[in-house]
Structure 1
Amino acid sequence: MQEFKHYQAAHCENGVTVGLLKQAGLEQITEPLAFGIGSGLFYIEIPFLKLQSGPAISFRTFPGNIFKRTCKAFDVKLETKKYRDEEKAMYELDALLEQGISVGCQVGVFHLSYYPKQYRFHFNAHNLIVFGREGNDYLVSDPIMEETTTLSRQAMRKVRFAKGVLAPKGHIYYPTSIGEVTDDKLVAAIRTGIKRNCRDMLRIPGGVAGAKGINYTAKNIRKWRDKLGERKAALYLGQIVRMQEEIGTGGGGFRYLYGAFLEEAAAITGKEELLIVSEKITKAGDMWRDSAVQMAGIYKGRLSAQADYNHCADILNQISAVEKEAFLQLDKIKI
C-alpha cells in the first residue's frame, strides 16, 4: 500500500483536493489555494428546493466544482465515475486500492459510524479519501477529522449509496497524471479562479445567487414570521444556521478561507491590493458569525419579535453590501 499523508482541513472537498493532489506531486497546493482557484465562495438560496423542510441555501459553489476546477487549472488528468450497481462499485474500489491508488469518494453523512450521533444527518455531498483496506475495514482520510479512521465494508456501501438529495451513487474520483506546475501556471490559475468568482458573486442573472442572493434571503426573513408562524419561521432560521455551521465550515468560515486565499495570492502574485479585499471578505465572515448568533437566538426561543427577524435581515443586507463592494474591487485588480 502506498504511504498516504492525512491533511486536516476546514472543509471536506478542499481537504480531499489537497490530499489527492499532494500525493500526486502538486506540493504547492494548500487549502486556501484550492478553495480560491476552484472559485469556491458563493451564496445561493434555491426558492423551489427544500432541504429537510427548510430553505436550500449554500455558502459555497456546487459540490465537486472545487476539485474539478483546481485540477483543470493545473492540467491534472482525472478519472471519475458513478454507479448503478453497488457490487460493481465496491469491487472497483477494492481493485483501485489493491493498485495503491487513493480514491476520493462522495458520501452521505448519516451512516458515517465514526461521527458522533449528534453530527449525523442526511447530507449527501460529504467528501473523503479511501486510501487502503485491511480485512473488512477501509482506511479513511476524512479531512475534517484530526486523524485517519476506518469504515466497515457494510458502512462504506451505505455511505456511498445514501439516498435522497444529491445522492452520491457510488461516486469516486482520483487524479491519474499531473504535469509540471510552473510559477506562471500558478499565477494563471489564481487569475482564472478570481475572475470566475467575481462573475459568480456579481453577474449571475436573477436575484437568488451571489451578493444579490443574500438580499433575497433577507427579504424572505422579514416575511417568515407572519407568513409561516413563529414555530416554522424559527425552524427556517435554524436551517440557515445549520447550512452555515454544520454543512459549511462554521461561522462564515468560507469567507475566512477566501480571505486566506487572497493573502496567499498576494504573496504569489505581488499584488498587495488583494490584501485590502481580503480584509473586507474577512469582515463579511465576522458579520455572518453575528447573523448566526442572532438567528440561533430566535431558533432557541430567546427572541421572537418581528424586530428580531428584521435585525437578522438587516445584518444580511449589510453583508450583501460588503461582499458586493469587495468583489467589485477584486474584479478591477489586474493579475
Structure 2
Amino acid sequence: METSHQAHHTEESLDNLHSGFHHMQAAHCENGVTTALLKHYGIHKLTEPLVFGIGSGLFYIQLPFMKVNGGPAISFRTMPGLIFKRTCTALGVPVTRKKYTSPQKAMQELDERLAQGKPTACQVGVFYLTYFPKEYRFHFNAHNLIVVDKQGDNYIISDPIMETLVSMTSYELQRVRFAKGAFAPRGQMYYPGDNLTEATDEQIRNGIIKGIKRNCRDMLLIPGSFAGAKGIAYTGRQIKKWKNKLGDDKARAYLAQLVRMQEEIGTGGGGFRFIYGAFLQQAHAYLPIDELLDVSQQITVTGDKWRGAAIQAAGIYKGRLGSQADYDDMGNRLIEIAELEKKAFKNLQNAIKKAKSLV
C-alpha cells in the first residue's frame, strides 16, 4: 500500500500551493508544531527555544519496572502535548484537543477543518511515516505534525523534522493517526483558537518565569530516585551493572535503546540542553538577570557531555568497546551530568527568585 511516493508533489509545487502556511523546520517536533501553528493563527513573537522553555520541555525519567521495545523505559521529554498546552495557557490561547474511537470520524472532522482553511496538528506514530527514511522509523507514537491542506486524496503535511512540506495519502495518514502501542494517538488532533491576538511581552515574561519554576521542580524536586537529575544518576548506576547482570548482547541492546531515546527520538539529551540554553539566552531579553546567561552556559556544557556519552554508548553497542571499564565510564559520564544539571537548576532556581522584583 506504500505507493504515496509516486503521488508526492515536488517540494517546490507544495510550497507554492500553500503559501498561506509558513513551514518551519525545528529541532523537536512538538516545539516546531507549537511555534508554526501559533504563528499561523496570529502569535509571531515565539521562537522554538521560547516555546520549549515556557512549556517546560526539559525532563528525564527512567521507569525501573517498565520496558519499551524490550529495553529500559527512559524519557527525555515531558508527556506528549504538554509543551503545546502549557505554552497556550501562558498566552491565554484556547486549546481544542480531540481523540477518536472511529477512524472515519477522525478523518471526517480533520477534512472539515481543512476545507475551512484551518491547519490542524495531529499526534501520530512514526513507524509508518512513508516520507521518513526507513532507519528513522521506530514504534514511537508521540510524534507531532501539522496537516495543512488536502488535495484530492493527498494530505499536505508540515512535519517540523522535514526541510519542506510533504504529502501522504488518506490511507497513510489514517494509519499513523491510529498507530497501536504505547501512547497510541487514537486519531488525536489539536489546534488553538482562530484569529489570535499577538502575545504581549508581559505574557511572555510571566510564561518564562512559570516555565522555569516548573522545570526546576521537575529536575530537582520530584520524589524518589528515578526522575530529574536524580534519575540521570540512577541510570548511570544501573549502566555499570548491565554487563554482568544482563550479558553482553542484552546490555548492548539496552544502551542502543538509551541512545535512540536520547538522540534519535525527539532530540533528547544533548539537543534538548542546547535548546534550553538558547531559551535562557532569549529569556534574558525579557528578564535581564545575568544569571540566566550563566546557567545557559552551564546547560550547554551538559549538552556537550550528553553527546559525548552517546558516542561512548555507540562504541559499546557497535562492538568497538565492551569491557566493564567501558560500562563504568559510560555510567560515570551520566553521574557527572546529573551532578552538573543539579547545580545548574539550583542556580536557576535562585536566579528566578530575583525575577519577582522585575515583574
Q: Same fold (TM over 0.5)?
A: yes
| Alignment root-mean-square deviation, CA | 1.1
Matched, 1:297 2:322: no
Residue number among 266, 284, 294 corresponding to 1:276 in the alignment: 294
Give the structure 1 partner of residue 346 of structure 2.
Answer: 328
Deviation at 1:179, TM superposition (A): 4.2
Give the structure 2 partner of residue 230 of structure 1.
Answer: 248
Give the structure 1 partner of residue 200 of structure 2.
Answer: 182
Amino acid of the structure 1 residue aligned with 2:75: S
Give the structure 2 partner of residue 108 of structure 1.
Answer: 125
Give the structure 1 partner of residue 104 of structure 2.
Answer: 87
Give the structure 1 partner of residue 143 of structure 2.
Answer: 126
Is the 2:43–2:197 contact (alpha carbons within 8 Å) kept by the matching residues of 1? no
Deviation at 1:242, TM superposition (A): 0.6
Give the structure 2 partner of residue 192 of structure 1.
Answer: 210
Amino acid of the structure 2 residue aligned with 1:84: T
CA deviation string 1:120-159 (max 9, x = no partner): 1111000000010000000000001000000001000100
Is the 1:251–1:286 contact (alpha carbons within 8 Å) kept by the matching residues of 2? no
**Which 4+ runs in 1 deviate beyond 4 A?**
none
Give the structure 1 partner of residue 158 of structure 2.
Answer: 141
CA deviation string 1:98-126 (max 9, x = no partner): 01111000000111111111111111000
CA deviation string 1:75-99 (max 9, x = no partner): 0001110000010001111001001
Deviation at 1:2, TM superposition (A): 8.2
2-structure distance, mates of 1:179, 1:188: 17
Give the structure 2 partner of residue 202 of structure 1.
Answer: 220
Alignment of 1:147-166 (within 5 A): 147-166=164-183
Relative to structure 2, which stretch is displaced further, 209-218 or 57-66?
57-66
Give the structure 2 partner of residue 5 of structure 1.
Answer: 22
Describe the SS at the equivalent of 2:97.
strand
2-structure distance, mates of 1:129, 1:114: 14
Deviation at 1:183, TM superposition (A): 1.4
Deviation at 1:248, TM superposition (A): 2.9
Give the structure 2 partner of residue 68 of structure 1.
Answer: 85
2-structure distance, mates of 1:148, 1:127: 14
Amino acid of the structure 1 residue aligned with 2:96: E
Amino acid of the structure 1 residue aligned with 2:50: L
Deviation at 1:289, TM superposition (A): 0.4
Is the 1:2–1:100 contact (alpha carbons within 8 Å) kept by the matching residues of 2? no
Amino acid of the structure 1 residue aligned with 2:262: Q
Residue number among 291, 315, 319 corresponding to 2:333 in the alignment: 315
Deviation at 1:268, TM superposition (A): 2.1
Q: How many residues align?
A: 335
TM-score (norm 1): 0.98
Amino acid of the structure 2 residue aligned with 1:329: N
Structure 2 gap segments, 5+ residues each: 1-17
1-structure distance, mates of 2:298, 2:323: 31
2-structure distance, mates of 1:113, 1:70: 30
Deviation at 1:251, TM superposition (A): 6.0
Residue number among 50, 55, 59 corresponding to 2:67 in the alignment: 50
Residue number among 201, 213, 216 corresponding to 2:231 in the alignment: 213
Amino acid of the structure 2 residue aligned with 1:41: L
Residue number among 260, 283, 294 corresponding to 1:265 in the alignment: 283
CA deviation string 1:58-79 (max 9, x = no partner): 1121111100000000000011
Is the 2:76–2:269 contact (alpha carbons within 8 Å) kept by the matching residues of 1? no
Alpha carbons of structure 1 residues 2 and 248: separation in structure 2 relative to 1, 3 Å: closer
CA deviation string 1:289-333 (max 9, x = no partner): 010011111100111111100000110011001100000000011
Give the structure 2 partner of residue 240 of structure 1.
Answer: 258
Describe the SS at the equivalent of 1:288.
helix
Is the 1:74–1:179 contact (alpha carbons within 8 Å) kept by the matching residues of 2? no
CA deviation string 1:5-62 (max 9, x = no partner): 1011000000000011001111111000000000000111111221110011111211
Describe the SS at the equivalent of 1:252.
helix
Is the 1:11–1:144 contact (alpha carbons within 8 Å) kept by the matching residues of 2? yes
Amino acid of the structure 2 residue aligned with 1:37: I
Is the 1:139–1:149 contact (alpha carbons within 8 Å) kept by the matching residues of 2? yes
Residue number among 284, 290, 305 corresponding to 1:287 in the alignment: 305
2-structure distance, mates of 1:114, 1:179: 34
